[in-house]
Amino acid sequence: MIIISDDKKENYNASKIQVLEGLEGVRKRPSMYIGSTSIRGLHHLVFEIVDNSIDEALAGFCKNIRVIIHKDNSVTVSDDGRGIPVDIIPKYNKSALEIVMTKLHAGGKFGKGAYKVSSGLHGVGVSVVNALSKRMEVKVKKNGKIYHQVYEFGKPVTDLKILGETSESGTEITFLPDDTIFEMTNFNFEFLAERMRELAFLNPGVKIELTDERSGKSLTFHFEGGISSFIEEVNANKKPFHEVIHFSGEKDNVGIDFAFQYTSGFTTNIFSFVNTVRTDEGGTHLTGFKMGLSKAINTYLRESKTKLKDLKITSEDIVEGLTAVISVKVMEPQFEGQTKAKLGNSEVKRIVDSFVYERVKTFLDENPNTAKLIIEKVANAAKAREAAQRAKQIARRKTAFDSASLPGKLTDCSETNPEQTELFIVEGDSAGGSAKQARNRNFQAILPLRGKILNVEKARLHRIMNNREISSIITALGTNIGDSFDISKLRYGKIIIMTDADVDGAHIRTLLLTFFFRYMKQLIEEGHVFIAQPPLYKVMYGKTRQYVYTDEELAQIVKDHPKADVQRFKGLGEMNPQQLWETTMNPETRRMVKVTIEDAILADRMFSLLMGQDVQPRKKFIEEHALEANIDI
């Protein structure tokens, strides 16, 4: 058991609050503090406040957290922790609450004793949320009383008042994001639910309730199994080789909690966290975990008496088909940026490496049956890697900008600046022919695919590299894939998937997205992948011609013009080049959807469900969601 804090309850008071600098510039440059003003930045506001409640849980003072999305898109976060200090700080002659809410770098995270470890390390969270909100209301239950204060645009508009008495303790914060700063202020319930579920996994025993008053949805997350339950859920649609292997403890003042499980799949899913904050870009703790796991398996293999003991195993082989979680608690973590995407503490790599190696090596020695399954999985990966390397070498020999090496079916554009170019990946030669005639040859390239590409969820890398259609995509883009991926060599700034609006088209689109997500994820993360939206209908009434993109739009037009002539486009090939240009390819008039990854865990689970080996969960999903789909039968 890791002891998070040995602080006494009464010691968390105004003396723990230290002020480093003011709030200037937050509203002017919000992206410096929350990453962006897009939907991701909007949800980051909620995470910042919830992280403060989690800090109270880490310190041993909070068991229940509630998050409520109100009908006006304001959000309330409440907990049963100690409550933000409300006593006066003499230097400022203001309450500690007001200082925390209005000063950047003010909070218990900078003092000694209030928190041993903290997810909100930088101490800017709640003050930045306040600065970026039209209105914020705070209630603190502390010292037998209920304290209350209101802020607008980061500034107090009421004094700190006492509303009444209570025997409870905790903090409740309600905020309404400023719609003049954010591109949108509509919170996504599913996106928030994923993070709340994640936090409940990482903090076993803490109950987190999420309620959406707009839809009536409500979920409660409470997992005593911790990250073992996390892995079981991530692998719910996969075939595991063994039970989840889980260890936790403390070494050199670093709390370490890790679990892993090998599956029959070929993709790697390692989720890393520092003080319960997900580090999407990894860091020293992730490096240490991989090193320790790799050393343990290699050492066990060398000491074994099997014919595989001389097999050369790489870290790439070790992680094939692996699902793992590494969560560390560090007293003074050094992050890159306020959004805490990557851990930089060099000492953590050594500590985690040693801890993981010792635990895994002992486990393999004591559990020979499970060890045998893992060794066989790794050995098969090594053999497949050697075949994949031969295929990769062929791909590397082709220079991205050498036109002689480009796929024969690719019709390239004359522009060579990737910021100006577009590649349309088109279903079939018929649609490809129309697209070639319709395009603007200066900046639009066309790559027609012959049928459906390989389902990469069910194939190893050497099969993927040898697949003709996928090989054409890799060569056309110029980036290579997987560990060899280099986005600086990307030949087209926009990669546009253009398929028919029917079941086959949707399947091809999903196959392509699965490939990009598994082997070229950075293309999606940096906003290079789009889905074209061709019209479903052409409607004529009187002298008017109108292209219609949804059944809802069509219903309204037919209602207004009962004698309208409606033509259903069964496929892109049915449109002549002029129609295809006007509706789907002209940047001035087309509709496109940018593919984004708002939550990697949710995306991974969905791709495993839709494209994985287990048929039953996929069948159940289709049965439950069939009526929501636009299906052309």
Residues known to be catalytic:
427, 500, 502, 504
**Distance, CA of 248 to CA of 260 (rounded, Å):** 12
Query: Which amino acid would we find at residue 295?
Result: K
One-character DSSP codes across 129-197:
HHHTEEEEEEEEEETTEEEEEEEETTEE-S--EEEEE-S--EEEEEEEE-TTTSS-----HHHHHHHHH
| DSSP single-letter state for residue 618 | H
540's CB contacts (< 8 A; 6+ apart) are 546, 564, 565, 567
Query: Which amino acid would we find at residue 145?
Result: K
CA angle 348, 353, 358 (to 5 degrees): 130
Query: And the tokens for 139?
Result: 């209630």
What is the number of alpha carbons within 13 Å of residue 146 lying toward its C-beta? 12
Element containing residue 595 per DSSP (H, E)? none
User: Quick one: how far is CA 445 from the chain centroid?
Assistant: 30
Query: And the tokens for 27?
Result: 């509203």
CA angle 230, 231, 232 (to 5 degrees): 95
Positive or negative: CA dihedral 27, 32, 37, 40 = negative
| Residue 239: strand, helix, or coil | coil
Among 345, 282, 351, 346, CA closest to 319 = 282
Q: Are 129 and 77 in contact (CB under 8 A)?
A: no
Q: Based on C-alpha coordinates, what's the Rg of the chain? A: 27
Distances (CA, A) of 25 to 22, 28, 128, 177, 587: 9, 5, 10, 17, 36
Distances (CA, A) of 95 to 84, 155, 352: 10, 14, 41
Among 282, 283, 285, 295, CA closest to 256 = 285
Q: Are 340 and 277 in contact (CB under 8 A)?
A: yes
**Distance, CA of 257 to CA of 386 (rounded, Å):** 33
Among 388, 393, 496, 489, CA closest to 439 = 496
Positive or negative: CA dihedral 191, 193, 195, 197 = negative
Element containing residue 355 per DSSP (H, E)? helix 346-366
What is the number of alpha carbons within 13 Å of residue 132 lying toward its C-beta? 35
SS (H, E, C) 254-273: EEEEEEEEEECCCCCEEEEE
Q: Are 261 and 244 in contact (CB under 8 A)?
A: yes
Distances (CA, A) of 281 to 340, 343, 434: 9, 8, 42
Element containing residue 325 per DSSP (H, E)? strand 322-329
* Residue 107 backbone class (left: φ over 0; alpha: ψ -120 to 50; beta: rest): left
What is the number of alpha carbons within 13 Å of residue 306 lying toward its C-beta? 15
